[in-house]
Homo-oligomer: A and B are copies of this chain.
Amino acid sequence: GRKVLIVYAHQEPKSLNGSLKRVAVEELSKQGCSVTVSDLYAMQFEPRATRNDIVGCLHNSEEFNYAVETWEAYKRGGLSSDVSEEQRKVQEADLLIFQFPLYWFSMPAIMKGWMDRVLVQGFAHEFPNCYDSGLLKNKLSLFSFTTGGSEEMYAKGGISGDIRYLLWPMQHGIMHFCGVKVLAPHICFAPEYVSEEKRKEMLNAWAQRLKTIWKEEPINCSPEWYFK
C-alpha cells in the first residue's frame, strides 16, 4: 500500500479545509493507502527557525547560522525531535498533500515554518543534489488550498494575476528544489461565497480526483507552466 502524508493547516475542523482533509483521509484509506496527518495547529507546531532546533552544542556558537547548524545537526542525528519526527513521516511518504487556506498569496506561516524547519540540507537537498536530483526524488506532492478571492480575480489579466504565478515559490522553489514531483494543484476558489451545495460539490470533486490520483502525471515544473 502507498503512503501519504497530509500536512494540514487550519484551526477549525468544521472548515472546508477540515472537510477536504477528512475526505482525503477517507478516500485514500479506502484505496488501501496508509495515511498520516500532520495537523499543524493541533500540534501547536513551532514555525520559528531557532537555536532550539539543534540539540546539544553548536558547530559554531560564535555566529549562529541556521542552515549550517541544522545541516550539521541532521548529520549527527541532533535535530529536535519535532523536526526529526516530521522528517521520518516525509521519508516514508510516496505523496505529500499540503492542505491549507491561502494566506497572502502563500501558505499560512505555520506551514511555511514546517518547510523552513523540516526540509533541511542533508535531508531534502545537498548541493549539487537539488531540483531534478534533489534528495526527495521519487516522491509526489500536491498543493490543495482554498482562496478568499474568486476565480475571476485569479485569472490571467485578473486583478490578482494568474493563480499559477503564486504557485512558483511553493511548487518550484520548495518541492521541485527537493526533487519532489508536483501534481496539478487542487484549488477551491472562494468557498465562503458559494452555496452549501456548491461546497459539497467541491468536496465531491476532490474525492473523485483522488480515486485516480496515482495515474496522474506530474506537471512540467518549469517557467513555461507558470508564466507562459
Query: How often does this chain occur in the complex, in copies?
Result: 2
Could you say which residues of chain B place their CB within 8 Å of the CB of A115? 103-104, 109
- A169→B109 contact, CB < 8 A: no
- A47→B49 contact, CB < 8 A: no
- A169→B49 contact, CB < 8 A: no
- Determine the interface band of chain A, counting residues with CB < 8 A from chain B: 35 or more
- A160→B148 contact, CB < 8 A: no
- B51→A48 contact, CB < 8 A: no
* Per-position binary interface string of chain A over residues 94-106, scored 1 when its CB falls under 8 Å from any chain B CB and 0 otherwise: 0000000001111
Give residues of chain A (163-209) contacting chain B, Cβ–Cβ below 8 Å.
165-166, 168-170, 172-174, 177, 192
In angstroms, Cα B160 to Cα A131, docked, is: 9
Partner of A67, one of B62, B148, B170: B148
Could you say which residues of chain B place their CB within 8 Å of the CB of A113? 47, 109-110, 113
**A167 (CB) vs chain B CBs: closest residue:** B169
Known A14-B63, A41-B50; further 12 A-B contacts with Cβ < 8 A: A41-B48, A104-B173, A104-B174, A105-B170, A109-B117, A110-B113, A112-B112, A113-B113, A161-B168, A162-B223, A165-B169, A166-B169
